[in-house]
Chains A and B, each alone.
Chain A
């Protein structure tokens, strides 16, 4: 009985060994391929979450009231999920930037914790409106999940191909054939 078991496991051992080698090679190949593809196709807005600071300079409210141009932020601001928007109000008037209300001389911050696209009122934009886009950030977890899809698939394909191209039975047979014949007598 134990002999049967041993023979079964030794029968599958070459397959498992090959599968393990192919898995390791495919892991490295997929890792390199995914990373290169990610870097080539990467959206310029895709980055790690960070602190985004905006300063409202002194005299902004007076300049807006007088219809003068003010140092403004681009009308369509793009954020990454996890960014913290911090607005420093150096003006003597309260200001509003979308979801943030910043009393005169104070600083307000807001964590952008979910992807969304919103249009807000803004007290220091000439258009009086501001579009805020919060994009989902590509996280380490996303890249791991990419690998978890590509590595098993690639391993399966290469393994099946290798069995067709280099059959293990054939190799075993060749090995046997290569052995010198024992001549008795």
Chain B
């Protein structure tokens, strides 16, 4: 009889411990990676031209999640690195990638024509979107997205680099800036966030 009471007591204590642990996990919730914008803010709208010469307006993409960064096709390091990362993220989220648009906006409109983007961006993935536009239109987008663009002096062959930010912006299905990621953030962490958001 006594041992039965002890067993029941131990059972109650273990049960309470498990419940409190589960409650703690539930309360903690999901912690997004990167820099979280809370509450989310409506992303600045823009209208540019994609690699096929078709107009692309951000506000037309409601219902889709947009992963966006600023780069250029002659970029030697971060831009191809980010596009390669996009490819990994797309693979990691599997079927959910159908609801995600992977976008690169140029910081070098002088060289990044629609044709140039068409020859570059789909090499990473045919579904990826490259956007260009007039200098004036792009300057407004750069300003709205806090992008620093600084073309460097060209060499004897006319080649030049463009200094720019390397941040990735995650825009949710409601068209809000939700999270930004500094360059170097793990693909798996961004994929986890996308997976959570799309759920």
Which A positions have Cβ atoms within 8 angstroms of B?
Answer: 94-96, 98-103, 105-111, 121, 123
Residue of B33, B38, B145, B148 near A108 (CB, 8 A) is: B38
- Binary contact readout B11-38 vs A (1 if CB under 8 angstroms, 0 otherwise): 0000000000000000000010111111
* Residue among A94, A109, A121, A123 making CB contact with B35, cutoff 8 Å: A109
Which of B33, B34, B37, B182 has a CB less than 8 Å from the CB of A106?
B37
In the A-B complex, the 4 residue pairs with the closest CB atoms: A99-B182, A94-B146, A100-B35, A106-B41
> How far is B148's CA from A110's CA once the two chains are assembled, in angstroms?
21
User: When the two chains form their complex, are residues B41 and A101 in contact, meaning their CB atoms are under 8 A apart?
Assistant: no
Q: Work out how many contacts link A and B, with CB atoms closer than 8 A.
A: 44
- What A residues does B72 contact at CB under 8 A? none
B165 to chain A, nearest CB (A): 8
Q: Which residues of A contact B82 (CB under 8 A)?
A: none
Question: A101–B38 contact, CB under 8 A?
Answer: no
How many residues on the B side are at the interface (Cβ–Cβ under 8 A)?
17
Complex contact A108–B146 (CB within 8 A): no
Residue of A nearest to B181 (CB): A99
* CB contact list, B95-150 vs A, under 8 A: 144-146, 148
- Chain A residues, CB < 8 A from B39: 106-107
A110 and B34 contact, CB distance less than 8 A: yes
Contact B36 A101 (CB under 8 A): no
Question: Which residue of chain B has the shortest Cβ distance to A109 in the bound complex?
Answer: B36
Whether the Cβ atoms of B177 and A110 lie closer than 8 Å is no
In the bound complex, how far is the Cα of B37 from the Cα of A106, in angstroms?
A: 7
Measured between beta carbons, the chain B residues less than 8 angstroms from A106 are 37, 39, 41, 177
Q: Complex: how many Å from CA A163 to CA B38?
A: 65
Question: Which chain A residues lie closer than 8 Å to B35 at the CB level?
Answer: 99-102, 108-110
User: With A102-B35, A103-B41 given, can you name 7 additional A-B contacts, CB distance below 8 Å?
Assistant: A95-B146, A101-B35, A106-B37, A106-B177, A108-B35, A108-B38, A123-B146
Closest Cβ of chain A: how far from B83's Cβ, in Å?
Answer: 20
Q: Smallest distance from the beta carbon of B180 to chain A beta carbons, Å? A: 5
Expressed in whole angstroms, the Cα–Cα distance for A125 and B171 within the complex equals 28
- B167 contacts partner chain A, Cβ-Cβ < 8 Å: yes
B36 touches A108 (CB 8 A): yes
With a CB–CB cut-off of 8 A, which chain B residues contact A99? 34-35, 182
Q: Are A101 and B167 in contact (CB under 8 A)?
A: yes
